Amino acid sequence: MSTEIKEREPLFSAKNVKLLKNPLNLSNPITVQVLGICSALAVTAKLEPAIVMSISVIFVTAISNVVISVLRNGIPPRIRIIVQLVVIATMVILVDQVLKAFVYDVSKQLSVFVGLIITNCIIMGRLEAFAMANKPWPSFLDGIGNGLGYGLILVVIAFLRELLGSGSIYGLQIIPHQFYEMGYKNNGLMILPPMALIVVGVIIWVQRHYTRDLIEKN
């Protein structure tokens, strides 16, 4: 039956690279698909929790995409939501225990938002839209891509909020003391929750200004 063997697709074919790159801009989970906002905004007052959160989400999306993709032919369609929730919840428990063991301070700062990765719409959305219909390797790339797209926005928001709100980046003081002596002040408003929303609004504005296709007609 050797005639049936098709030429294997290379691991990083153009199609697969697209899976990885598209979520960074054109189909970004936060600014375009509007998924996963819930947990995205609350953890972005500082850079460190935002990075930890992004890594956790990348891990959970990638692994649960692979698991569901492997199981996809064995899952009865009627109970697929429950199966997906169980897989995601298991991954999130793993992440939570690892965070508690190795970076306890950050885990305390993230508080309930680690648990809320379970109901993060990005993960359910990608499982439903992609992993249920595709092979494990593309699903893995799709998971990584969407996780990265989410992480990218998180890091940008956290960078702006920490720089303007606390004058530091990743805990290091960036704005020199002379500035403060000259009368410069940190903008305390940036650390407060509502500013995260406004920063996202501005990011969407900038992105749509350069990518005209995304503009809503309304």
Residues that bind another protein (CB under 8 A): 31, 34-42, 81-82, 85-86, 89-90, 92-93, 96-97, 111-112, 115-116, 118-121, 124, 189, 192-198, 200-202, 204-209, 215-218
- Find the shortest distance in angstroms from Cβ 117 to another protein: 9
Q: Is the Cβ–Cβ distance between 157 and 53 less than 8 Å?
A: no
Cα–Cα distance for residue pair 136/158, rounded to 1 Å: 32
CB 89: neighbour CB atoms within 10 A?
16
- In the complex with another protein, which residue's Cβ is closer, 27 or 137? 27
- C-beta of residue 153 within 8 angstroms of C-beta of residue 144: no
H-run or E-run covering 112: none
Long-range contacts formed by 166-174: CB under 8 A, 24+ apart: 166/46, 166/191, 169/47, 170/47, 170/48, 171/46, 171/47, 171/48
Q: How far is the CB of 77 from another protein (least distance, A)?
A: 15
- In angstroms, give the least distance from the CB of 148 to another protein: 20
Q: How far is the C-alpha of 201 from the C-alpha of 209, rounded, in Å?
A: 12
Q: From the CB of 198, what's the least distance to another protein, in Å?
A: 4
Q: How far is the CB of 58 from another protein (least distance, A)?
A: 19
What is the Cα–Cα distance from 213 to 185, expressed in whole angstroms? 39
Minimum distance of another protein from residue 16's CB (angstroms): 28
Nearer to another protein, 20 or 196 (CB): 196
Q: Which is nearer to another protein, 84 or 166 (CB)?
A: 84
128 or 137: whose CB is closer to another protein?
128
- Give the whole-angstrom CA distance, residue 44 versus residue 52: 11
Between residues 52 and 110, which has the closer beta carbon with respect to another protein? 110
Q: Which is nearer to another protein, 42 or 164 (by Cβ)? A: 42
